[in-house]
Amino acid sequence: MADDRRRKRPTTATGRLFRLTGMTTSIATRVAGHQVKGLFQSDIAKAADREKLLQHIGREVAATLGEMKGAVMKVGQIASQMQDILPKEISDQLKVLQNASAPMPFHVIRHQLERELGGTLDQLFADFEETPFAAASIGQVHRATTHDGDNVVVKVQYPAVKESIDSDMKHLRRILRLGSLLKVDEAALDAVFREIRNQLHEELDYRQEAGNLKHFRDFHHDQPWLVIPQVFDELSSEKVLTLSQETGIALDQVDDDHGFDQATRNLLGERLFDALGQQIFQLRAVHCDPHPGNFAFRPDGTIVIYDFGAVKRLPPQDADLLRNIVHSALNQQWEHLDTLLMQLGARKKDTQVNGQFYATWIALLLRAFDDKPYDFGRSELHTDILRQVKRTPLEQMLKFQPSSRSLLIERVVSGHYWTMMKLGVNTAFRPNLERALEVTPDN
């Protein structure tokens, strides 16, 4: 059975191309059949068949990307959070990609590691655990011990990932366009995919991640409650990254039984919020992979942050624009907010949005940022947002679209909403939000 799984998981650019081409052909055939069948159906039957088609496409894409790892799986993970780009039937199916993926066989990892670092495993490490403790879309992580006795974690990138980005992205974009599945214009879609592609190229260069780790460690040096791993340069390369082992409690175990009372959980929530606010508006570079596995917590109020491959660098004008958007929302300046959103590219031009639309939505979105404590543990904000989407006329929603300039920042905010829920934070965040907006940018 293990051999079968290995054969299913392509590790070469040719194998990946073959798998993606096969998936594209299969989906294209189904879409064509759906279109022909629709010529002879009522509108009700056509709508029901379209829903089934989208669900099938979602399942097939999720299954294939989950086997392949790499760029397409990473994009699939991001796409699962982008209901404004994908139909719900597809984004729901892609959510399975958020879970931990199966690891690569160790002989593949060992070859990659020894080739990158230029020595045998025994020469490089005193001890190396063959079974990874984490496996993700573009690499997996092993515990090890250096010859100096340091406990470290070693992140090893999967083969053929970087070389196949352009091909992977081309095929995935083609799949998502089949049957007019996308609801945004081509220019917006191009910008979003370009942003994701650029981010992936950065994330696949572990030397750049090493630089990110050092940059963020320096920035947060006066905040001892925020722990960022240290890089072992001599045991790192473009596709291997060795870091100090920093322990903590996983998010799903942050509870009273593990020493986290309500006051501590509130403190963790505020510290996490403050750190992200400082990164966005002061450092203008933000850790933008909010996956729970990238964070750990300690009962003394310490937060450990892992994986700095996904870092969004904000041009000064973008940071200022985001700051002004939040200010306008807080001050209920709807016309100014509308203008700023068009500048951001999140609002389609040549359309009109009235103030009542913004008043309704901003009141909903700012509910968690009041002067009074907000209980994230009992939050229903996400379900209320979905209800409001259903109540809002489609022609109003179509006046908005994803912006490549804020795409990853929105991923951070939405991802950490779930973090706050799981922590059970119950505190008032308005003062923290106002402090974040007032910080002085680093030059």
Q: pLDDT tens, 259-290?
A: 999 999 999 999 999 999 999 999 999 999 89
Closest C-alpha among 128, 124, 132, 127 to residue 105 = 132
The pLDDT value given to residue 6:
40
Q: Which residue has the higher pLDDT, 336 or 59?
A: 336
Q: Which of 35-39, 136-140, 298-302 has the highest mean pLDDT?
A: 298-302
Give the whole-angstrom CA distance, residue 112 versus residue 115. Answer: 5
The pLDDT value given to residue 271:
98
CA 329 from chain centre, in angstroms, equals: 25
Give the whole-angstrom CA distance, residue 55 versus residue 48. Answer: 11
Structure tokens at 29: 């055939």
- Rounded to the nearest integer, the mean pLDDT of the chain is 84
167: exposed, middle or buried (Cβ count in 10 Å: 0-12, 13-18, 19+) = middle
How open is the CA angle 178-342-177, to the nearest 5 degrees? 5
Task: Work out the pLDDT band at 42, boundaries 50, 70, 90.
Answer: confident
222-249 pLDDT, tens digit per residue, is 999 999 999 999 999 999 999 999 999 9
Evaluate if residue 176 carries a pLDDT over 80: no
Task: Give the burial string for 211-240 (b: 16+ CB within 10 Å, else e).
Answer: ebbeebbebbeeeeebbbbbbbeebbbebb
Q: For residues 28-34, give the mean pLDDT.
A: 70
Structure tokens at 345: 């590219």
Domain boundaries, the chain: 2-103+161-203, 247-443
| Stated pTM of the model | 0.77
Evaluate if residue 89 carries a pLDDT over 80: no
Which backbone phi and psi does 249 adopt, to 5 degrees?
A: -90, 135
